[in-house]
Amino acid sequence: MQRADGAALLRTGRRALERADWESARSAYSAALGAGAGVADARDGLAQAQWFLGRVAEAIALREQAFEEHVRAGRCAEAARCAVW
């Protein structure tokens, strides 16, 4: 059940980012992190929301963590994308 809820939160966060609703994206990704769902993806999405909310230092720290999580999971393309940001 937690995974399904977490996946829904990740989708909600992605849709919020797509419509530039930064606060809703921040909220959805924070909730996904709390649910333990797609931690690297949730942290990456939260970083994007924080960036556009002007919380740059927090965004950078979150991206660094997401990068490390992607590397540990062997997700090289995702890690590279985080590094570029």
CATH number of the CATH domain containing 15 = 1.25.40
The residue segments making up the domain with residue 47 are 1-84
Per residue of the chain (85 residues), give pLDDT as tens: 345 588 899 999 999 999 999 999 999 999 998 887 678 999 999 999 999 999 999 999 999 999 999 999 999 999 998 888 7
CA angle 26, 32, 38 (to 5 degrees): 115
C-alpha distance from residue 79 to each of 2, 44, 45 (Å): 25, 10, 13
**What's residue 19's pLDDT?**
97
Q: Which of 7, 22, 73 is nearest to 82 (CA)?
A: 73
Distance CA 38, CA 52 (A): 21
**What's residue 1's pLDDT?**
37
Copy the structure tokens of residue 29. Answer: 């990704």
CA angle 29, 32, 38 (to 5 degrees): 100
**What's residue 2's pLDDT?**
45
Looking at the 3D structure of the chain, how many domains does it have?
1
